[in-house]
Chain A
Amino acid sequence: MMQPKGIYALWYRESKVFARQRSRVISSIANPLLWFAFVGGGIGSVVSIEGINYQTFIYPGVLMQAVIFSSIFYGVYIVWDKRIDFLKEVIVSPMSRTSIFIGKVLGGSTETTIQTVILLLIAIALSAAGLMHGINLNPLTLLLTFIILSITTAGMASVGLILGSQMESPEGFELVISFVIFPLFFLSGALYPINNLPPWLAPLTLLDPATYAVDALRATLLGTSTFPMALDIAVITAFTALMITIGTQAFKKMKI
């Protein structure tokens, strides 16, 4: 059962609170910029991949970095929610657990979407100024990029919420970073192409759902890819659907 007004309420709360926490707003804007400028610019000065400038090559990867880090962090955040007890107010309302979960996913997606939109605007500006080359930016590719990012963001926010709903205190945070966020990000091919990896590493990248999102973004924005676009989209959609299903169940069993 879905309750649109209640889902809107949850989204409203998340975005209001986000907008009022200036440190979160600043870091969520600065974070991807730093990756792009320092990692892209630094490594890009010595490396180019498949004839593409490295900074351009990792641009889709930086988008994915924003998605993975901020969505999952957001989800794990409900550990604090449990502490400040606002979650109780929601849990005792007539809202179904499915609605609560969807509302939280939408709330988390907003923050991530703000970051990715800023990154897209920067790419548009840099390309227009002639400082960045080889990125196909037109209404169609932007729309497609936006869709790929939205699906992936919903899946990653769900991963965070599932982890957060199982955690009793913020102490498990470090584990989430080491064993969930870093592997998802570094194995996704965000920073390097996955076609020539050593045999022990290649299979691992194939298990990472983010790999397919990065591949789809690269296909859209750079015109280079490893898998067919249809496969990419199918994998990330299935991943997100699965995570939302598991997340709804996790919320039903969550103890407060």
Chain B
Amino acid sequence: MYVIETEDLTKRYNGLVAVDGLSLKVGEGEIFGLLGPNGAGKTTTLLMLTTLVQPTSGTARVSGFDVVREPDRVRGSIGIVFQEFSTDEMLTGYENLKLHGWLYDMPKQLREERIKEALSLVELTGRKDDLVKKYSGGMRRRLEIARGVIHHPKVLFLDEPTIGLDPQSRDRVWKFIKDLAVKEGITVIITTHYMEEADRLCDRLAIIDHGKIVVLDSPEKLKRDLGGDIVRLKAERPDVGALKALGFVRNVGECGGELCLTVEDANEHLQEILDVAGKVNSVEVHSPTLDDVFIHHTGRAIRDELNEEGSWQK
């Protein structure tokens, strides 16, 4: 039985297709990532799965309930951590969680028990009676993750959970998400544009571009499937055609003004590549990362499309 099941899920805004015939299945206890650039349709997909936006066509079932016909039951079975903070900063951490328990109609004893557990999981027990406005960004994000799980949802949706956090906070948030999936058996759906985040967290991920799934698999498999090493070249007038003609070059893409080649056994063939490439200013060889996977499948780098704040429009 799948926890998330969509078929041909589509959303159009005034003729613009935000999500285009998305079909995917996510199993229980999986951490599933939606990875893609600005406007790829990640957030719209999330909003449809959480019943906040109506699909134009297609179907989606979350924990067995149809998002259009049974939105209340879908909402009762999920937890969400939004991209923007949605705790009340004039309330304490504990009050925010208590309020959540009331909204989800939890019995008192269970509520208090779960709040205590969740607070200790996100290491906020000592700060629970402080107003949220005194929290740091990382603490607030952790509080919101705790809030998202106290009613024991089947699925937890995380929309860009570490955006705007410093590296330490990011590491801790990742650890909590991992712990949740393992200890609580919760299915986690996460949207992100951080490659490292997707790589570290996700059991499987779908790369989404222009509202469509470009490729879907585990991060390891996606990287392995590139079938070789990555050679990054900065050449003055590279002959792309000649490079592509080389038998051991599987793919040639552009990444931030440089050329990214997927090459079988790069150490063996490096000299031949340099001979064909013309005058080369710099060269770098490494094993594939998700960045390379993204470039391979979309022909461009995800970070090229990041705006300054690193935030995405919906």
Chain A contacts to B: CB under 8 angstroms: 3, 5-6, 8-9, 12-13, 16-17, 20-21, 84-86, 88-96, 256
Contact = CB atoms under 8 A, between A and B. Distances in A.
B87 A93 contact: no
B99 A92 contact: no
Given A86-B86, A88-B82, 19 more contacts: A5-B103, A5-B105, A6-B103, A8-B102, A9-B102, A13-B99, A16-B90, A20-B90, A84-B85, A84-B89, A85-B82, A88-B84, A88-B86, A90-B103, A91-B52, A92-B50, A92-B52, A93-B100, A93-B104
B196 interface: no
B86 A12 contact: no
Contact of B87 (A9, A12, A89): A89
Interface residues of B, number: 27
Interface stretch (B72-80, B171-179, B247-255): B72-80
B86 A256 contact: no
Contacts of A85: 82, 84-86
Nearest to B51: A92
Contacts, number: 66
Contacts of A96: 72
Given A85-B82, A94-B72, A17 B90 contact: yes
23 contacts: A5-B105, A9-B99, A9-B102, A9-B103, A12-B99, A13-B88, A13-B99, A16-B90, A17-B88, A20-B131, A84-B85, A85-B82, A85-B84, A85-B85, A86-B87, A88-B84, A89-B100, A89-B147, A91-B52, A92-B52, A92-B78, A92-B80, A93-B75
A95 B99 contact: no
B102 A86 contact: no
Given A6-B105, A93-B104, A94-B72, A256 B99 contact: no
B75 A92 contact: yes
B91 A16 contact: yes
A3 B105 contact: yes
Indicate the member of A21, A91, A94 with the most B CB atoms within 10 Å.
A94
A103 B124 CA distance: 29
A143 to B, nearest CB: 31
B203 interface: no
B91 A13 contact: yes
Contacts of A256: 52
Interface string B57-100: 00000000000000011011010101011111111000100011
A89 B86 contact: yes
B36 to A, nearest CB: 22
Contact of B103 (A17, A21, A95): A95
Contacts of B104: 93-94
Interface of B: 50-52, 72-73, 75-76, 78, 80, 82, 84-91, 95, 99-100, 102-105, 131, 147
B272 to A, nearest CB: 56
Contacts of B50: 92
B95 A16 contact: yes
Indicate the member of B72, B102, B131 with the most A CB atoms within 10 Å.
B102
Contacts of A90: 103
A86 B89 CA distance: 9
A188 B151 CA distance: 48
Contacts of B78: 92
B52 to A, nearest CB: 7
B22 to A, nearest CB: 20
A84 B132 CA distance: 13
Contacts of A8: 102
Contacts of B102: 5-6, 8-9, 12
Nearest to B103: A93
A5 B84 CA distance: 26
Contact of A17 (B51, B84, B85, B91): B91
A3 B86 CA distance: 21
Contacts of A88: 82, 84, 86
Nearest to B95: A16
A69 B87 CA distance: 28
A177 to B, nearest CB: 25
A94 B90 contact: no
A76 to B, nearest CB: 18
B104 to A, nearest CB: 6
Of all A-B residue pairs in the complex, the 5 with the closest CB atoms, nearest first, are: A9-B102, A94-B76, A93-B103, A85-B86, A17-B90
Contacts of B80: 92
Contacts of B95: 16
Nearest to A21: B90
A90 B80 CA distance: 11
B25 to A, nearest CB: 23
